[in-house]
Amino acid sequence: MTAVSLKERSGAAWNRSIAKKQIVALTGAVLVLFIIFHLAGNLLLLLGPETFNAYAGKLESLGPLLWVARIGLIVLFVSHIWLTILVTLENRRARGREYEVFDPKGGVHWATRYMIYTGLLLGLFLIVHILDFPLADRHGEAGTVVTAAGSQNLGLYGVAWNRFLNPLRDIFYILAVSALGMHLSHGFQSVFQSSGSDHTQFGGWINKLGIGLGVVVAVGFSAIPIYVIIRHNTLGIGL
Protein backbone atom coordinates (compact mmCIF):
# COMPACT_ATOMS: atom_id res chain seq x y z
CA MET A 1 0.00 0.00 0.00
CA THR A 2 1.35 3.48 -0.90
CA ALA A 3 2.08 6.15 1.68
CA VAL A 4 -0.73 8.34 0.24
CA SER A 5 -3.45 5.69 0.50
CA LEU A 6 -2.31 4.85 4.06
CA LYS A 7 -2.62 8.55 4.94
CA GLU A 8 -6.07 8.73 3.29
CA ARG A 9 -7.23 5.67 5.22
CA SER A 10 -6.06 6.97 8.56
CA GLY A 11 -7.63 10.37 7.72
CA ALA A 12 -10.99 8.71 6.99
CA ALA A 13 -10.76 6.68 10.22
CA TRP A 14 -9.99 9.88 12.12
CA ASN A 15 -13.05 11.62 10.61
CA ARG A 16 -15.27 8.65 11.47
CA SER A 17 -13.96 8.72 15.04
CA ILE A 18 -14.70 12.48 15.34
CA ALA A 19 -18.21 11.90 13.93
CA LYS A 20 -18.81 9.16 16.53
CA LYS A 21 -17.67 11.46 19.35
CA GLN A 22 -20.01 14.17 18.10
CA ILE A 23 -22.96 11.77 18.04
CA VAL A 24 -22.09 10.64 21.59
CA ALA A 25 -22.08 14.31 22.65
CA LEU A 26 -25.35 15.12 20.84
CA THR A 27 -27.24 12.06 22.14
CA GLY A 28 -25.81 12.81 25.61
CA ALA A 29 -27.07 16.41 25.44
CA VAL A 30 -30.63 15.30 24.54
CA LEU A 31 -30.50 12.68 27.34
CA VAL A 32 -29.50 15.41 29.81
CA LEU A 33 -32.67 17.33 28.85
CA PHE A 34 -34.74 14.19 29.47
CA ILE A 35 -33.01 13.61 32.85
CA ILE A 36 -33.72 17.19 34.01
CA PHE A 37 -37.38 16.87 32.96
CA HIS A 38 -37.58 13.42 34.62
CA LEU A 39 -36.04 14.72 37.85
CA ALA A 40 -38.43 17.68 37.99
CA GLY A 41 -41.41 15.34 37.43
CA ASN A 42 -40.20 12.83 40.02
CA LEU A 43 -39.63 15.47 42.68
CA LEU A 44 -43.43 15.95 42.61
CA LEU A 45 -43.45 12.69 44.58
CA LEU A 46 -42.41 14.76 47.60
CA LEU A 47 -45.70 16.68 47.30
CA GLY A 48 -47.86 13.58 47.79
CA PRO A 49 -49.88 11.05 45.78
CA GLU A 50 -52.42 13.46 44.25
CA THR A 51 -49.82 15.79 42.73
CA PHE A 52 -47.54 13.00 41.52
CA ASN A 53 -50.34 10.86 40.07
CA ALA A 54 -51.82 13.91 38.32
CA TYR A 55 -48.45 14.41 36.61
CA ALA A 56 -48.21 10.68 35.74
CA GLY A 57 -51.81 10.86 34.40
CA LYS A 58 -50.89 13.81 32.14
CA LEU A 59 -47.97 11.81 30.72
CA GLU A 60 -50.23 8.78 30.21
CA SER A 61 -52.82 10.92 28.43
CA LEU A 62 -50.24 11.59 25.70
CA GLY A 63 -51.08 8.03 24.54
CA PRO A 64 -49.17 7.05 21.37
CA LEU A 65 -46.99 10.18 21.64
CA LEU A 66 -45.60 8.89 24.93
CA TRP A 67 -44.63 5.66 23.20
CA VAL A 68 -42.94 7.59 20.38
CA ALA A 69 -40.96 9.49 23.07
CA ARG A 70 -40.09 6.23 24.86
CA ILE A 71 -38.89 4.58 21.64
CA GLY A 72 -36.89 7.74 20.84
CA LEU A 73 -35.32 7.51 24.31
CA ILE A 74 -34.38 3.86 23.82
CA VAL A 75 -32.73 4.72 20.47
CA LEU A 76 -30.85 7.59 22.16
CA PHE A 77 -29.68 5.49 25.13
CA VAL A 78 -28.61 2.55 22.93
CA SER A 79 -26.73 4.72 20.40
CA HIS A 80 -25.10 6.73 23.20
CA ILE A 81 -23.91 3.60 25.02
CA TRP A 82 -22.89 1.70 21.88
CA LEU A 83 -20.92 4.56 20.33
CA THR A 84 -19.25 5.32 23.69
CA ILE A 85 -18.02 1.72 23.87
CA LEU A 86 -16.71 1.94 20.28
CA VAL A 87 -14.94 5.26 20.91
CA THR A 88 -13.40 3.96 24.16
CA LEU A 89 -12.12 0.82 22.44
CA GLU A 90 -10.71 2.88 19.55
CA ASN A 91 -8.97 5.25 22.01
CA ARG A 92 -7.45 2.32 23.89
CA ARG A 93 -6.22 0.77 20.67
CA ALA A 94 -4.74 4.08 19.52
CA ARG A 95 -3.04 4.98 22.80
CA GLY A 96 -2.24 1.58 24.17
CA ARG A 97 -4.23 0.17 27.05
CA GLU A 98 -1.50 0.57 29.66
CA TYR A 99 -1.12 4.28 29.10
CA GLU A 100 -4.79 4.97 29.61
CA VAL A 101 -5.38 2.79 32.63
CA PHE A 102 -2.15 2.93 34.57
CA ASP A 103 -0.41 6.23 33.90
CA PRO A 104 -1.60 8.43 36.78
CA LYS A 105 -0.05 11.56 35.29
CA GLY A 106 -1.12 10.80 31.74
CA GLY A 107 -3.27 13.92 31.62
CA VAL A 108 -6.45 11.84 31.40
CA HIS A 109 -8.90 13.05 34.06
CA TRP A 110 -10.15 10.29 36.40
CA ALA A 111 -13.74 10.96 35.34
CA THR A 112 -12.78 10.32 31.70
CA ARG A 113 -11.24 7.01 32.69
CA TYR A 114 -14.32 5.99 34.63
CA MET A 115 -16.86 7.22 32.04
CA ILE A 116 -17.11 3.72 30.63
CA TYR A 117 -17.63 2.15 34.09
CA THR A 118 -20.21 4.69 35.25
CA GLY A 119 -21.87 4.27 31.85
CA LEU A 120 -22.05 0.48 32.24
CA LEU A 121 -23.49 0.81 35.78
CA LEU A 122 -26.12 3.17 34.35
CA GLY A 123 -26.96 0.64 31.62
CA LEU A 124 -27.60 -1.99 34.32
CA PHE A 125 -29.56 0.55 36.38
CA LEU A 126 -31.81 1.34 33.40
CA ILE A 127 -32.76 -2.33 32.95
CA VAL A 128 -33.67 -2.63 36.67
CA HIS A 129 -35.43 0.74 36.57
CA ILE A 130 -37.61 -0.05 33.54
CA LEU A 131 -38.69 -3.30 35.27
CA ASP A 132 -39.31 -1.34 38.51
CA PHE A 133 -41.45 1.47 37.10
CA PRO A 134 -42.77 1.66 33.52
CA LEU A 135 -43.38 -2.12 33.43
CA ALA A 136 -44.93 -2.33 36.93
CA ASP A 137 -48.67 -2.91 37.19
CA ARG A 138 -49.52 0.36 38.91
CA HIS A 139 -53.22 -0.56 39.18
CA GLY A 140 -52.43 -3.89 40.85
CA GLU A 141 -50.34 -5.13 43.77
CA ALA A 142 -47.24 -3.09 42.82
CA GLY A 143 -49.14 0.16 43.41
CA THR A 144 -51.02 -0.98 46.53
CA VAL A 145 -49.74 0.52 49.77
CA VAL A 146 -50.55 -0.97 53.17
CA THR A 147 -51.42 1.74 55.69
CA ALA A 148 -52.81 1.66 59.23
CA ALA A 149 -56.22 2.23 57.67
CA GLY A 150 -55.86 -0.79 55.36
CA SER A 151 -54.70 -1.32 51.78
CA GLN A 152 -55.02 1.41 49.24
CA ASN A 153 -54.05 1.55 45.58
CA LEU A 154 -52.01 4.69 45.02
CA GLY A 155 -51.07 4.12 41.39
CA LEU A 156 -47.57 5.10 40.28
CA TYR A 157 -46.97 6.89 43.61
CA GLY A 158 -47.71 3.60 45.37
CA VAL A 159 -45.25 1.79 43.06
CA ALA A 160 -42.47 4.26 44.02
CA TRP A 161 -43.40 4.06 47.71
CA ASN A 162 -43.31 0.24 47.76
CA ARG A 163 -40.11 0.01 45.71
CA PHE A 164 -38.20 2.41 47.96
CA LEU A 165 -39.18 0.61 51.16
CA ASN A 166 -36.45 -1.87 50.20
CA PRO A 167 -33.09 -0.53 51.55
CA LEU A 168 -31.03 -2.61 49.09
CA ARG A 169 -32.84 -1.04 46.18
CA ASP A 170 -32.35 2.40 47.76
CA ILE A 171 -28.59 1.83 48.01
CA PHE A 172 -28.47 0.66 44.38
CA TYR A 173 -30.47 3.71 43.22
CA ILE A 174 -28.33 6.13 45.23
CA LEU A 175 -25.10 4.59 43.87
CA ALA A 176 -26.49 4.68 40.32
CA VAL A 177 -27.66 8.30 40.48
CA SER A 178 -24.31 9.31 42.05
CA ALA A 179 -22.56 7.61 39.13
CA LEU A 180 -24.97 9.47 36.84
CA GLY A 181 -23.97 12.75 38.51
CA MET A 182 -20.27 12.06 37.90
CA HIS A 183 -20.97 10.86 34.38
CA LEU A 184 -22.96 14.02 33.58
CA SER A 185 -20.49 16.44 35.11
CA HIS A 186 -17.77 15.07 32.87
CA GLY A 187 -20.06 14.52 29.85
CA PHE A 188 -21.21 18.15 30.07
CA GLN A 189 -17.61 19.33 29.70
CA SER A 190 -17.03 16.90 26.81
CA VAL A 191 -19.98 18.32 24.84
CA PHE A 192 -18.11 21.59 24.58
CA GLN A 193 -14.88 19.87 23.55
CA SER A 194 -16.53 17.57 21.00
CA SER A 195 -18.56 20.37 19.45
CA GLY A 196 -15.23 22.04 18.75
CA SER A 197 -16.02 25.19 20.76
CA ASP A 198 -12.95 26.87 22.05
CA HIS A 199 -13.67 27.03 25.73
CA THR A 200 -10.32 28.16 27.11
CA GLN A 201 -11.90 31.47 28.15
CA PHE A 202 -14.97 29.82 29.67
CA GLY A 203 -13.30 26.58 30.77
CA GLY A 204 -13.64 27.37 34.48
CA TRP A 205 -17.34 28.16 34.14
CA ILE A 206 -18.02 25.09 32.04
CA ASN A 207 -16.32 22.92 34.69
CA LYS A 208 -18.37 24.54 37.46
CA LEU A 209 -21.62 24.18 35.53
CA GLY A 210 -20.81 20.53 34.83
CA ILE A 211 -20.13 19.84 38.52
CA GLY A 212 -23.29 21.76 39.50
CA LEU A 213 -25.40 19.73 37.08
CA GLY A 214 -23.93 16.47 38.43
CA VAL A 215 -24.59 17.45 42.05
CA VAL A 216 -28.19 18.59 41.37
CA VAL A 217 -28.99 15.35 39.54
CA ALA A 218 -27.33 13.07 42.14
CA VAL A 219 -28.81 14.87 45.17
CA GLY A 220 -32.21 15.44 43.53
CA PHE A 221 -32.81 11.80 42.55
CA SER A 222 -31.33 10.48 45.84
CA ALA A 223 -33.79 12.67 47.77
CA ILE A 224 -36.69 10.46 46.63
CA PRO A 225 -35.67 7.08 48.17
CA ILE A 226 -34.25 8.92 51.21
CA TYR A 227 -37.58 10.73 51.68
CA VAL A 228 -39.53 7.46 51.55
CA ILE A 229 -37.19 5.74 54.04
CA ILE A 230 -37.15 8.67 56.49
CA ARG A 231 -40.88 9.18 56.31
CA HIS A 232 -41.61 5.49 56.76
CA ASN A 233 -38.96 4.50 59.33
CA THR A 234 -37.86 7.49 61.38
CA LEU A 235 -41.10 9.41 61.55
CA GLY A 236 -43.07 6.17 61.76
CA ILE A 237 -45.58 7.41 59.19
CA GLY A 238 -47.34 4.66 57.23
CA LEU A 239 -47.80 6.99 54.34
Instruction: State the residues that interact with ligand HEM by CB under 6 A.
Output: 35, 38, 42, 56, 59, 70, 73, 122, 129, 133-134, 156, 160, 173, 177, 180, 221, 224-225
Closest-by-Cβ residue to ligand HEM is 133
Q: How far is the CB of 192 from ligand HEM (least distance, A)?
A: 21
- CB closer to ligand HEM, 116 vs 224: 224
Q: Considering the complex, what minimum distance in angstroms separates the CB of residue 231 from ligand HEM? A: 14
CA-to-CA separations, 28 to 9, 49, 77, 106, 171, in angstroms, rounded: 29, 31, 8, 26, 25
CA dihedral 137, 222, 39, 22 (to 10 degrees): -110
> What is the four-CA torsion angle of 89, 91, 180, 34, rounded to 10 degrees?
-90
Give, for 151, the enclosing helix (H) or strand (E). strand 150-153
**Least distance (Å) between residue 224 CB and ligand HEM:** 4
User: Least CB distance from residue 66 to ligand HEM, whole Å?
Assistant: 7
Q: How far apart are CA 44 and CA 46, in angstroms?
A: 5
108 versus 133: smaller Cβ distance to ligand HEM:
133
Closer by beta carbon to ligand HEM, 13 or else 74: 74
Q: Which is nearer to ligand HEM, 87 or 180 (CB)?
A: 180
